[in-house]
Amino acid sequence: MRAARILQKLLGIDRVRIIDVEFTDDERGPVIVVTLEPHASVRSRCPHCEQRCPKYDRPNRPRQWRHLDMGGMRCFVQTSVSRIRCPEHGVVTEMVPWARPAANMTRAFDDNVAWLAAHSPATSVCEYARVAWRSVTRIVTRVVDDAVGRTDRLQGLRRLGIDEIAYRNGHRYLTVVVDHNTGRLVWAAEGHNESTLNRFFDELGEERTARLTHISADAAKWIASTVRSRAPQVKRCMDPFHVIQWMTRALDRLRSRVLSRLWGFTDQDRRPLRWALLTSRISPPRRSQSEQRSSTTETANSVEATS
Ligand SMILES: [Zn+2]
């Protein structure tokens, strides 16, 4: 097998011819630059509709796309592209078989970073892929846009969870719907009211809504009323997260009441009382203070029993 063919296999890019390979260095370390020439069958095609279109101008200087690292070195593929005039999409840069429209990373690099972003902390993704977080955001947007339409996330839903999450310091809200069977987010939209949730049921459609069996949510009235009217057959469940949250808050209020009636305790004495009320034991355990702990717990319990 010729070296060019081996390199093409390693790159994982089809419908191209390898013209040149260059090893260089930039301020961030060694770089491999592979110059490619797309096959004639994929040239002069619109990146959006893949229709062959007349050229608008001639290729200018080579354009580069970041590709998956090779041998620990950053890798770029490059070629000269021209603009074409698509009857539907206007004047656009012609398609290249290895990248999404308007991207400056290859499809393989995009997919790799998007997967990492879904499974790793932001800082790890940026350091591992050696890209800025803003680039990661653009990559994820591209990959998601590409996947929308090819996969139906609302297919086969049975047990759902509905919740709202705040962002921009609580000034804006998203309504999110997760599939309890897969643990995946299946729908999200800005807003947290009945009309927002109605949009979800509109997209889901009557047939698929009729197949839902369970929906869990917090005690928000707008969720309960919408679910009652749009999916009356489902069993509505209280979200365990919120139940625990309410219990914890109730215990905190109880603790405050108990503490307000205790005298003669230092702050250090009072601190373990929170755990005594939440867990019926004092945590974290400190053996040297075991006597003090038990007496503190007894005091707290006796005060509550008589209150
Ligand atoms: Zn087009």
Q: In the block, which residue shows the tokens 């008589």?
A: 306
DSSP state of 94: P
Distance 48 CA to ligand 1 centre (A): 5
Distance 44 CA to ligand 1 centre (A): 11
Domain spanning 159-238, CATH class: alpha beta
Report ipTM for this prediction: 0.97
Q: Are 273 and 293 in contact (CB under 8 A)?
A: no
CA distance 161 to 187: 11
| C-alpha 128: how far from chain center | 18
Show the tokens assigned to 24: 């260089």
Distance 83 CA to ligand 1 centre (A): 12
Determine the length of the chain.
307
The one-letter amino acid code at 304 reads: E
Distance 53 CA to ligand 1 centre (A): 8
Q: What would you report as the CA-atom Rg of the chain, rounded to the nearest whole angstrom? A: 30
| Backbone phi, psi, residue 271, to 5° | -55, -45
Distance 246 CA to ligand 1 centre (A): 54
Distance 87 CA to ligand 1 centre (A): 7
Per-residue pLDDT of the chain (307 residues; tens, 9 = 90+): 688 888 888 999 989 999 999 999 988 899 999 999 999 999 999 999 999 999 998 877 789 999 999 988 999 999 999 999 999 999 999 999 999 998 999 999 999 999 999 999 989 999 999 999 999 999 999 998 888 777 788 889 999 999 999 988 878 999 999 999 998 899 999 999 999 999 999 999 999 999 999 999 988 899 999 999 999 999 999 888 888 888 888 888 887 887 777 777 777 777 776 667 666 665 555 555 555 555 545 554 554 444 4
| C-alpha 264: how far from chain center | 51
Show the tokens assigned to 88: 């539907």
Distance 65 CA to ligand 1 centre (A): 21
CA distance 81 to 57: 9
Domain range annotation of the chain: 1-97, 99-151, 159-238, 243-306
Distance 52 CA to ligand 1 centre (A): 8
